[in-house]
Chains A and B, each alone.
Chain A
Amino acid sequence: MKWVYIVSITALVILMFIFQWPKIKTVEKNEKIAFITLTVLGWAIAIFYVIFPSMPSPAKIVDFTLMQISNIFRTLW
């Protein structure tokens, strides 16, 4: 079942690429690099989440970090 998700995510990313790439002007090199990096990052994270569904989400990581910081403050109090 997992490969269905992987194939559809890849198809979505390719569609996004086809839609957006011609619209970036050829002189804007930084834009192209940023676009490719973000797209690849999003694709990789999506694949990781498909393969390891129990990987923590950013919301939980932020919660955990903030809780740690507040605990430090509480012990200092």
Chain B
Amino acid sequence: MIEKGKISALQMGLLMYHAILATGILFIPATVFNVAKQDIWISPILASPLGFLSVYIAYKLNKYYPKDTIMQYSKHILGTFWGKMLGLLLLLLLITSLSVMFWQYGEYVVSEFLPHTPKSVIIGMMVILCAFAVHGGLEVLGRLAGMVFPVFFLLFLVIIILVLPDVEVKRMLPVMENGLMPSLKGAWVLCTWFAQFGIIYFFLPFLTDREKGLKFGMLSVLVVTLTLVVTNIIVIWLFGNVTENFNAPFMSASRYISLAEFLSHLESIVMAIWIAGTFIKLCVFYYVVVIGTAEWLNLSDYRSLVLPMGFLIGVFAMQAFLNSAEAAEHFRIVSHEIMDTLVYGLLIPIFLFLGAYIRKTIFKHKVRRTN
């Protein structure tokens, strides 16, 4: 096995929590508001079954091939050539996705906090930082997630409590003004995030307590859903119909806090938790890309690939979009038309699962009967 380290199921759940929520907590409310209006808090509940499904499919595949990640069992299921082809497709999609995430991080930091710093410096620093974490291996990532999560959650609660004096519940009314359809459309947008739970298939073989993998995976989806519901409710209570004017409403909400005239400008707290969460998210996807490449090439060690891969991703991230207008077009396509995350998170695993099911049950029956 290529990865010698092991993580616990809880640590995997925390890793996935950050991998989904780090960007989601900022960008989901405004993106979903375009279609769901004041019902944005219903959308995460409607979209969560997709997350549960992704985790369940990955778990079932892992049950069939307990010691392999997707790169290896795709070869077992489809044969060497088609397995490699599917692996290549998966890697290309993951690399693209990761480069967009790095771009998003760079763009956000430049536009909100460090307007005079070149984007190459910001992205480059993050790539180097992530490269060191990924070089450390899976155990390092697991512990980092365990370290960041309590801080993340505590500060999240602090922000919510401090916002409470300004909220007005009636901004949420009327609930389901135009029926369930707007929130269903919002749920479709959210599928982009929930489908990313599929990358859990890279972590399941490396668990110390594999039987708990499903439980903590599901729990992770549940906590992500709850966090999103709470975020969306707070945003809609606070901003109502002007939510769409903000790029990142949760950040603007924290700017809004002014308690007793001395506790204000808390956006630095949100920025701190956001950077920490995004760091984990980027590390998770970076790790997945590196270990996926190493397994695709049948290497015995993935550490030598960390730096070249980081360089490649950094180059792609720098060039991902020339300006925010192009990026907005990209995010419109991936969230309203067809999504790349859905392909690598759900469609490819379902396809492999069907193949594995046919191989393991139907053909086995045949073999038994001929015996």
A residues lining the B interface (CB < 8 Å): 12-13, 16, 19-20, 23-24, 28, 30-32, 34-35, 38-39, 41-43, 45-46, 49, 53-55, 57-63, 66-67, 69-70
Beyond A57-B316, A57-B320, A59-B321, is A16–B333 a contact (Cβ under 8 Å)?
Answer: no
Contact between A42 and B321, CB atoms less than 8 A apart: no
The reply to whether A57 and B321 contact each other, CB–CB distance below 8 Å, is yes
Which residues of chain A come closer than 8 Å to B360, judged between CB atoms? none
Residues of B bordering A, CB below 8 Å:
92-93, 95-96, 99-100, 103, 293-294, 297-301, 303-305, 307-309, 311-312, 315-316, 318-322, 326, 330, 333-334, 337-340, 343
Whether the Cβ atoms of A34 and B99 lie closer than 8 Å is: no
Q: Which residues of B contact A62 (CB under 8 A)?
A: 92-93, 96, 340
A31 and B321 form a contact (CB under 8 A): no
Main secondary structure of the interface of B (DSSP, over half): helix
Question: Is the beta-carbon distance between A23 and B340 smaller than 8 angstroms?
Answer: no
Complex CA gap A57/B343 in Å reads: 19
Contacts of B334 in A (CB 8 A): 63
Contact between A38 and B333, CB atoms less than 8 A apart: no
Q: Which residue in B299, B311, B316, B326 is a CB contact (below 8 Å) of A12?
A: B311
Q: Known: A31-B300, A31-B301, A63-B330. Is A41-B312 also a contact (CB below 8 A)? A: yes
Contacts known (A34-B297, A34-B299); A58 close to B311, Cβ less than 8 A: no
Please tell me if the beta carbons of B100 and A59 are within 8 angstroms of each other in the complex.
yes
With a cutoff of 8 Å between Cβ atoms, the chain B residues found around residue A43 in the complex are 311
Contact A42 B312, beta carbon cutoff 8 Å:
yes
Are B300 and A28 within 8 A (Cβ)?
yes
Per the bound structure, the CA–CA distance linking A59 and B97 in Å amounts to 7
* Cβ B308 vs Cβ A42 within 8 A: yes
Q: What residues of chain B lie closer than 8 Å to A39, measured between beta carbons? A: 308, 311
A34 to B300, CA, bound (A): 12
Q: Could you give 28 example pairs across A and B, Cβ below 8 Å?
A: A12-B311, A16-B307, A16-B311, A20-B304, A20-B307, A20-B308, A28-B301, A30-B297, A34-B293, A34-B305, A38-B308, A38-B312, A41-B308, A42-B312, A45-B312, A46-B315, A49-B318, A49-B319, A55-B319, A57-B316, A57-B320, A59-B96, A59-B103, A59-B316, A60-B330, A61-B96, A66-B333, A69-B338
